[in-house]
A and B are shown apart, each in its own frame.
Chain A
Amino acid sequence: MDPVWWEYIPYILQGAIWTFTLVGGGLALGFAIGVPVAMGQKYGPTWLKAVLDAYVWFFRGTPLVVLLFLFYWGVFPVLLGIKLDALTTSIIVLGLRSGAYQSQIFRGALNSVDEGQMLAARALGMTKWQAITNIILPQALRIAIPGWTNEYAIILKDSAICFTLGVIEILTRTRYVVISTGEALGPFLFAGILYIIFTYGGTKVFNIIYEKYHIPGLVGKGV
């Protein structure tokens, strides 16, 4: 007798560890890329802006699955001559892509901090760098939290696409279960509900962070 699919629920659930490794890694890498990219786009010299625009344009304009294949079989082994496993490749690709999207979130947030803040900071004698780090960024990061919450929800769902490289995250495991039990509806529905729960829970966590760092009256203009 074939095993019933729900006996595999713990097995699918263990995939959450991999999913959150992808999401956490991608978000963190995307943050580390997105903030400086946004700063470069706003405050950098023209040539740098052009380079950064090209980066953003490339990673926003290319489907994720294409990026995954390109980096896994192309960029890393052929172009750079390094062998990376599927998980590492996936995190890097998710991070590079999320960095492109996050840079736009942060750029919008930087732009929504009014000009007077920079003027007042410079008038006090701050250097441009001091003004950015002490005055502009702390405001922009707070303004960016709602957009960032959205980015979490997106990258969580996008992480499922990493099944194409065989990362044993939720979807990959669900497919194994479907294949070995011959049941499709139950496992896929379960996986879908898992994603909904993680989306909802994560959004709640970010809302708590938003409330914690919220400052009365600090809303970017037009955000």
Chain B
Amino acid sequence: MGRGSEMVGDEIVLRVENIHKRYKDQEVLKGVTFEVRRGETKVIAGPSGAGKSTLLRCINLLTKPDKGRVWLEGVELTDPETNINKMRQKIGFVFQEFNLFHHLTALENVMIGLTKVKKLPKDVARKKAEEALLTVHITEDLWHKYPAQLSGGQKQRVAIARALAMDPVIILYDEPTSALDPQLVGEVLRVMEELARKGVTGLVVTHEIGFALEVADEILFMYGGRILERGPPREVVFSPKHEVTRKFFENITKLYGGK
């Protein structure tokens, strides 16, 4: 059980119900249901093509699910009446490829959501952005650098700060360390762990078993567009119910060196 668990309340902040998604003749998501409680860190793992990224994008409707419903703090995102732009402000999204805005400095990257979307005054936004950057250990000397002038680990931490500064209800991470050089993975995982410990709710697609074992409250193992099994990290990783799950974590552990 993740050590963040003492922060977890009973309140469900994200509810995903029976999500289906099909691309042409390929059914990518075949009915996915789960929920995330406030303060919780949930890890989604599973082989390539299982539908993990599609699932995350269906949550903030970057991709429209064909069927199924999503609620954030009781508001149904999939309701066509819901102002999705307003709701997306509350859902942080951290991409594998960072997707920092190339033409903005680190500080401006974090500020732009606050000024343009939340319409905060510049000085308030700036203060908030600086706080968020410090939280992810991006020090002042880096604030005025452009993304191309930052290392991969720094970029991803700025991207996390960009999400964090919006005061999101939950942050979705899609393989946040997969594009990083191995020696830079640690600094990003450490920041994510610190946020989890502070009670920032997170839904993390990752193959970092160490992170899952240390931080996650639950692992969802996805296979073929479904959640094949779920449970406490140790259980799912070390004594899974299904053979495919066992194989998957065995291979991952070999590849990444589990703890």
In the bound complex, residues from chain A placing their C-beta under 8 Å from that of B118 are 125
Q: Does B134 make an interface contact (CB < 8 A)?
A: no
> Please, could you name 12 A-B residue pairs with CB atoms under 8 Å apart, sorted by A?
A116-B95, A120-B101, A120-B159, A124-B89, A125-B85, A125-B87, A126-B117, A130-B116, A134-B112, A135-B101, A215-B146, A217-B147
Residue of chain B at shortest CB distance from A137: B103
A127 CA to B159 CA, complexed, in Å = 19
Give the distance to chain A from B100, nearest Cβ to Cβ, in Å.
Answer: 8
Report which B residues bind A (CB closer than 8 A): 60, 62, 85-89, 91, 93, 95, 97, 99-103, 112-113, 116-118, 146-149, 159, 162, 166
In the bound complex, residues from chain B placing their C-beta under 8 Å from that of A135 are 101, 103, 112
B102 touches A217 (CB 8 A): yes
B62 touches A218 (CB 8 A): no
In the bound complex, residues from chain A placing their C-beta under 8 Å from that of B60 are 123
In the bound complex, residues from chain B placing their C-beta under 8 Å from that of A216 are 146, 148-149
In the bound complex, residues from chain A placing their C-beta under 8 Å from that of B89 are 124-125
Q: A135-B101, A142-B103, A218-B148 are in contact. Are A122 and B112 (CB under 8 A)?
A: no
B102 touches A119 (CB 8 A): no
**What are the interface flags for A203-222 relative to B under an 8 Å C-beta threshold, 1 for contact and 0 otherwise?**
00000000000011110000
In the bound complex, residues from chain B placing their C-beta under 8 Å from that of A142 are 103
Residue among A119, A125, A218 making CB contact with B117, cutoff 8 Å: A125
In the bound complex, residues from chain A placing their C-beta under 8 Å from that of B159 are 120
Which of B62, B87, B99, B102 has the most chain A CB within a 10 Å cutoff?
A: B102
Q: A215-B102, A217-B102, A218-B103 are in contact. Are A130 and B117 (CB under 8 A)?
A: yes
A142 CA to B103 CA, complexed, in Å = 9
Q: A116-B95, A135-B101, A218-B103 are in contact. Are A124 and B148 (CB under 8 A)?
A: no
